[in-house]
Amino acid sequence: MSTISSVSSVDSGLYAQGALVQGSTQKAPDTEKEVKTEKIEKNENGGVVYEASSKNDAKSPDKSAGIYSGADKSQLIAKLKADAEERNASLRSLVEKMMLGQNKAYTIAGNDEDSMWKFLAEGKFEVDPETKRQAQEDISEDGYWGVEKTSDRIVDFAKALAGNDAGKAQELLDAFKKGYEQAEKTWGKELPEISKKTFEATERKFNEWMNEGAKKTEDAEAVAVGANLNIQS
């Protein structure tokens, strides 16, 4: 006998995974180090001249060619692509499970009789009055599987995967859409109305995230321009 709590535990585990992904993100070590040296020379009059200087570590990449070059650049690009695919795959998997979980709650609540009989015929769960009441509560406006809370969890998980970098919002929005499509394939037909509303709410929140990121960029550029004008004046 399956219940909503079992689905919730899977979802909570995946949400916690997002926090681990974010927490495990580490800043790449500096590729260029400044090495302090002391230069002591004699001047024309025989006196000693002391000069503090700095030079690049001999092992640092050539600045004229950029921080990375050749094989290093290829490795960096490959790693960035691998990281992006891992983020996208994690979100796709989460979205598929969440959409199916929401659909199950919707079905148990008695909103989709055809699907209910399908589940019962496959022996996936039994529905007693208490389970049905809980499912109805879960898909309500303020419920765990309601439109707002489900869409919030999806976007929060995406932000955790991206380290709250709005520059990654579009790729994760695309991953969300693919996860939703996969949930429909797994289910075998279109998801119910509640899932469609969740899709719309999630897409809206992704767009809000992207707009916030664009606004912050514009504000930072305006501050930089203002500071430059002050320096010139």
Q: Please report the pLDDT score of residue 167 as a whole number.
A: 93
Model confidence pLDDT, tens digit, residues 149-181: 999 999 999 999 999 999 999 999 999 999 999
Window from 40-54, 81-95, 176-190, 213-227 with minimum mean pLDDT: 40-54
Confidence class for position 194, pLDDT limits 50, 70, 90: very high
pLDDT at 38 over 50: no
- H helix or E strand, kind and range, residue 34: strand 34-42
Confidence class for position 13, pLDDT limits 50, 70, 90: very low
Q: Please report the pLDDT score of residue 12 as a whole number.
A: 46
- H helix or E strand, kind and range, residue 60: none
Task: List, in sequence order, the alpha helices (H) in the chain.
Answer: 4-23, 71-108, 113-122, 129-138, 147-162, 169-187, 193-232
Residue type, 91: L
Window from 1-5, 146-150, 177-181 with minimum mean pLDDT: 1-5
Confidence class for position 143, pLDDT limits 50, 70, 90: very high
Model confidence pLDDT, tens digit, residues 87-140: 999 999 999 999 999 998 998 887 666 666 566 556 556 678 898 899 999 999
More confident residue, 66 or 203: 203
Nearest to 98 by CA among 19, 176, 163: 176
Window from 55-64, 118-127, 178-187, 215-224 with minimum mean pLDDT: 55-64
pLDDT at 68 over 80: no
Task: List, in sequence order, the alpha helices (H) in 164-192.
Answer: 169-187
Q: What is the average pLDDT value for the chain, to the nearest integer?
A: 75
